[in-house]
Amino acid sequence: MDLSAVRTFVAVAEAGQFQVAAALLGVTQQAVSKRVAALERELAVTLFTRTARGARLTIDGQAFLPHARALLEAEERAVASVRPGRRPLRVDVIGRRAATAGLLRDFHRARPDVDLDVVALPDVHAALAALGSGAIDASFRCVTMPGLRLPDGIGATPVFDEPLQLCTGPAHPFARARAVRPEQLAGQRVWMPGNVPGAEWSAYYDAFAAAFGFTVDAIGPNFGVEALLDTIAESSTVSTFLSEHTPLVWPSGHDLRRVPVLDPVPVYPHSLLRHADNAHPGLAALDAHLAARPPERCGAEVWAPDWALRRGAPGREGAPGRP
């Protein structure tokens, strides 16, 4: 259906005269008459009764008017959904329970005027494709894993070094420890069924395990964090890693422990990916909010893979196209 004809019909219905509608639309009265006539032919009904005083809606015109207005409202919503500055800022957070989702919640509290659309894409490759197509505006990712090169025009800015903790059940040897050092994990089995080949977090944990001599076990289907914690609670040999900032609630009978890892503190480095050509004004607000965050206090020494892009690390600033 020709929406310009629908818009003309609504203008005539509201103005009551073809001449007034033409002035409001900035077209000639003849153009208004032609559009309404074309719409009447398409609908096979008469929409107006022409009188000496103007135009009066017929019964069919009265029935069609609310639907015509709804069509125009739908057109406006459709345009707004893809127009930068009018549609929500679309940001990928890896997982809705991840610490980066918490960063976005903090941003929303600080800037409730910026509409947000939060998505969780499966891996960095999907995120880069979505950034390139414009499906999303930004993504929180650990992007400098080996073998990954950012496409031209997409840059990465380090924004958050996420401290990790060891999660154990009450029977695990480290359950009563106030803290553990990464070197004490040598020979331990750390179960992370969500790790998949090619994912950036898998590359991170593989490097972590290789540096300190423990085993990352990704065997078995991934039934989600609840099923993972059920198994950890009952095991005396298996542990897993959780973020210090990830909020989790588990049954009191599980008696799970979150043990700090120190000297050095392992941190998962998150960067904000965005396309240089994206002009959404919400991005500038998000950039300013993240830049104003105080640095993380992880202690005197932290660990991350030597390929990791970290916040505050010298000589590691992100740039479009950087490998």
Residue 300 has pLDDT above 70, yes or no: no
Nearest to 291 by CA among 188, 157, 201: 157
Q: Output the six-digit token pair for 109.
A: 């509290």
At 163-220, the pLDDT tens digits run 999 999 999 999 999 999 999 999 999 999 988 888 888 999 999 999 999 999 998 8
User: Which pLDDT band, with edges at 50, 70 and 90, does 252 fall under?
Assistant: confident
User: Which pLDDT band, with edges at 50, 70 and 90, does 245 fall under?
Assistant: confident
- CA 211, 212, 213: angle at the middle one, nearest 5? 105
Q: Output the six-digit token pair for 258.
A: 């979150």
At 271-293, the pLDDT tens digits run 999 998 888 889 999 999 998 88
259 CA to centre of own chain: 30
- pLDDT over 90 for what percent of the chain? 54
Q: Domains of the chain (ranges plus CATH)?
A: 3-80 (1.10.10.10), 89-303 (3.40.190.290)
Cβ distance 281 to 84 under 8 Å? yes
Q: Are strands 238-243 and 302-303 parallel, antiparallel or unpaired?
A: unpaired
Cα 246 from Cα 243, distance rounded (Å): 5
Label residue 295 exposed, middle or buried (CB < 10 Å: 0-12, 13-18, 19+): exposed
pLDDT for the residue numbered 35: 95
At 28-76, the pLDDT tens digits run 999 999 999 999 999 999 999 988 888 999 999 999 999 999 999 888 8
pTM assigned to the model: 0.67
